[in-house]
């Protein structure tokens, strides 16, 4: 480990701290309590990169801050833009050398940032590139938050995203504490001030954690990755189904929807000859009966080394129509960034792996 890095680790990282933590720190450092709020506004509203810019703080305390604290951002290693839909995949390096990916997507007026919550994932879904990496580690709240901040700083024009989705690498509810902390900082008035309703957390379906999330009563959206209509097929695709089978997962989703008076999003990845039959579509309708929900159909993005295939456009349409006949409006979500492996389930940090084509004009920073 380099000396600089060791020195850095002696410093307290203020990014990712909430008001309580900053107040405690200020108290320890013999500073008045109001400094905490001042620093918070510099960090999350003005988004300064150095203590020198915190001009309403005395010069002597700014010097002290420079010596004792830091504002730690992940290093932006590469940026790759899709030639098809302009979405951008960002590769970040964390202090310990681990790498994560985040994606910026455009859809009409919507600017969505898709963030990662873990390096790798322990859930082992057969169809998912991140699942193939295995679990490396949880991200800290500041590492989650800083993906959004770094991408927003990189935007041309308006410097804020309209939507945030936790659909990057990892299972957010398996990293519960840090994800909730990041969410709180995203929506706090002294934080990034993202509208809670514009944030969606996507889960593989960890039932006890869905209950805990419901109890938080945060106005954040919930998406459940269902991806099958029988326990047999779901268990084959998603090993967590052994512990949390379809009915329990959907029941937890229903309770969330009823408590929050919102529709739960059901994500359904369509895989050829596995879960894309019209019988599946009918069963899906049946399963969702009485659950305030909306379905997103995601044609499978093929992954290197995995034998699963994407259904034909016609089959996707037949499946969608079968749901529509039962009054379920289920938009087909064509993943953004397919040509740069930035689409759902394609995120894994094998740098320069197939499909992660470096575009020399815009990506290296
Ligand atoms: N762990 C969470 C969030 C990350 S995955 C979850 O599983 O929900 C985000 C979404 O991508 C999930 O709905 C998942 O089913 C989907 N996905 C994963 N691999 C995919 C692939 N290869 N093609 C299309 N969608 C995929
Ligand atoms: Fe993990 Fe979600 Fe991928 Fe499953 S789909 S392996 S839960 S990231």
Which residues 6+ apart lie within 8 Å of 100 measured at CB?
A: 74, 91, 92, 94, 116, 119, 139, 143, 147, 168, 169, 349
Nearest ligand to the C-alpha atom of residue 132? 2
Q: What is the pLDDT of residue 85?
A: 80
CATH classification at residue 298: 3.20.20.70
The answer to whether 1 and 8 have CB atoms below 8 angstroms apart is no
- Atom 20 (ligand 1) nearest CA: 345
Q: What is the number of domains present in the chain?
A: 2
The answer to whether 175 and 206 have CB atoms below 8 angstroms apart is no
118 and 21 inside one domain: no
Q: What is the pLDDT of residue 361?
A: 29
CATH classification at residue 31: 1.10.150.530
In a domain, 354, yes or no: no
Q: What is the pLDDT of residue 10?
A: 82
93 and 30 inside one domain: no
Tell how far the Cα of 172 is from the centroid of ligand 1, in angstroms.
Answer: 12
CA 345 to mean position of chain CA atoms: 12
In a domain, 3, yes or no: no
In this structure, the number of other CB atoms found within 10 A of the CB of residue 33 comes to: 12
**Distance of alpha carbon 16 from alpha carbon 145, whole angstroms:** 7
Tell how far the Cα of 171 is from the centroid of ligand 2, in angstroms.
Answer: 6
Give the ligand 2 atom nearest the CA of 174.
Answer: 7
Asked if residue 298 has its Cβ within 6 Å of ligand 1, the reply is yes
Asked if residue 180 has its Cβ within 6 Å of ligand 1, the reply is no
**In tens digits, what is the pLDDT along the chain, a chain of 365 residues?**
333 344 456 899 999 999 999 999 999 999 999 999 999 999 999 999 999 999 999 999 999 999 999 999 999 999 998 888 888 999 999 999 999 999 999 888 899 999 999 999 999 999 999 999 899 999 999 999 999 999 999 998 777 999 999 999 999 999 999 999 999 999 999 999 999 999 999 999 999 999 999 999 999 999 999 999 999 999 999 999 999 999 999 999 999 999 999 999 999 999 999 999 999 999 999 999 999 999 999 999 998 889 999 999 999 999 999 999 988 889 998 766 667 666 656 666 543 333 333 332 223 22
65 and 86 inside one domain: no
Tell how far the Cα of 170 is from the centroid of ligand 2, in angstroms.
Answer: 6
187 and 143 inside one domain: yes
In a domain, 347, yes or no: no
Tell how far the Cα of 264 is from the centroid of ligand 2, in angstroms.
Answer: 18
- The residue among 70, 91, 121 that closes a domain is 70
Tell how far the Cα of 148 is from the centroid of ligand 1, in angstroms.
Answer: 19
189 and 209 inside one domain: yes
In a domain, 355, yes or no: no
What's this model's pTM, rounded to 2 decimal places? 0.92
249 and 334 inside one domain: yes
Give the 3-state secondary structure of residue 222.
Answer: strand
Which residues 6+ apart lie within 8 Å of 364 measured at CB?
A: 78, 79, 358
84 and 26 inside one domain: no
Catalogue the active-site residues: 101, 344
Q: What is the pLDDT of residue 324?
A: 94
Pocket test for ligand 2, best of 119, 123, 179, 240 (most atoms within 8 A of CB): 123
- Atom 6 (ligand 2) nearest CA: 131
167 and 271 inside one domain: yes
In a domain, 365, yes or no: no
Asked if residue 15 has its Cβ within 6 Å of ligand 2, the reply is no
In a domain, 147, yes or no: yes
145 and 176 inside one domain: yes
61 and 91 inside one domain: no
Pocket test for ligand 1, best of 135, 345, 354, 355 (most atoms within 8 A of CB): 345
Q: What is the pLDDT of residue 159?
A: 78
**Distance of alpha carbon 87 from alpha carbon 99, whole angstroms:** 19
In a domain, 220, yes or no: yes
198 and 83 inside one domain: yes
Asked if residue 170 has its Cβ within 6 Å of ligand 2, the reply is yes
52 and 156 inside one domain: no
Q: Is 359 left (phi over 0), alpha (psi -120 to 50) or beta?
A: beta
Asked if residue 131 has its Cβ within 6 Å of ligand 2, the reply is yes
The answer to whether 19 and 190 have CB atoms below 8 angstroms apart is yes
Q: What is the pLDDT of residue 156?
A: 84
Asked if residue 267 has its Cβ within 6 Å of ligand 2, the reply is no
DSSP state for residue 45 in the 8-state scheme: I
Tell how far the Cα of 202 is from the centroid of ligand 2, in angstroms.
Answer: 10
Q: What is the pLDDT of residue 334?
A: 72
Domain span at residue 190?
A: 75-340
Rg (CA), the chain: 21
Give the ligand 2 atom nearest the CA of 131.
Answer: 6
Cα angle 340-178-65, degrees, rounded to a multiple of 5? 100
In a domain, 52, yes or no: yes
The answer to whether 147 and 115 have CB atoms below 8 angstroms apart is yes
Query: What is the pairing mode between strands 69-70 and 75-81?
Result: unpaired
* DSSP H stretches of helix in the chain: 3-10, 19-28, 34-41, 59-68, 129-133, 141-154, 176-187, 207-216, 231-237, 246-260, 278-288, 313-325
Tokens linked to 261: 């008076």
Asked if residue 173 has its Cβ within 6 Å of ligand 2, the reply is no
Give the ligand 2 atom nearest the CA of 169.
Answer: 8
Nearest one of 207, 232, 225 to 295, comparing CA atoms: 225
């Amino acid at each position: 480990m380099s000396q600089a890095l060791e020195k850095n680790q002696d410093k307290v990282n203020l990014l990712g701290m909430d008001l309580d933590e900053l107040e405690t720190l200020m108290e320890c450092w013999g500073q008045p309590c109001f400094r905490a709020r001042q620093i918070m506004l510099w960090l999350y509203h003005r988004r300064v990169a150095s203590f020198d810019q915190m001009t309403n703080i005395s010069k002597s305390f700014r010097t002290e801050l420079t010596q004792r604290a830091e504002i730690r951002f992940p290093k932006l290693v590469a940026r790759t833009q899709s030639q098809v839909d302009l979405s951008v995949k960002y590769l970040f390096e964390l202090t310990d050398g681990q790498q994560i990916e985040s994606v910026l997507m455009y859809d009409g007026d919507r600017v969505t940032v898709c963030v990662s919550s873990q390096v790798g994932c322990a859930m082992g879904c057969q169809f998912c590139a991140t699942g193939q990496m295995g679990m490396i580690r949880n991200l800290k709240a500041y590492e989650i938050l800083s993906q959004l901040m770094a991408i927003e700083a990189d935007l041309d024009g308006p410097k804020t995203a309209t939507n945030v989705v936790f659909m990057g690498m990892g299972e957010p509810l398996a990293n519960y504490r840090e994800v909730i902390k990041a969410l709180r900082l995203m929506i706090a008035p002294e934080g990034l001030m993202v509208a809670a309703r514009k944030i969606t957390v996507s889960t593989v379906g960890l039932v006890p954690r869905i209950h805990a999330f419901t109890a938080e009563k945060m106005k954040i959206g919930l998406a459940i990755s269902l991806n099958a209509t029988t326990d047999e097929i779901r268990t084959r695709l998603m090993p967590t189904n052994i512990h949390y089978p379809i009915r329990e997962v959907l029941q937890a989703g229903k309770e969330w929807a009823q408590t929050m008076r919102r529709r739960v999003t059901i994500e359904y990845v369509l895989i050829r000859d596995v879960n894309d039959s019209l019988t599946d579509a009918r069963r899906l309708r049946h399963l969702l009966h009485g659950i305030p929900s909306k379905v997103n159909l995601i044609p499978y993005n093929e992954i290197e080394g995995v034998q699963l295939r994407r259904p034909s456009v016609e089959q996707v349409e037949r499946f969608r129509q079968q749901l529509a006949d039962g009054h379920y409006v289920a938009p087909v979500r064509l993943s953004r960034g397919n040509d740069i492996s930035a689409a759902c389930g394609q995120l894994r940090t094998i740098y320069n792996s197939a499909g992660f084509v470096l575009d020399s004009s815009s990506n290296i920073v």
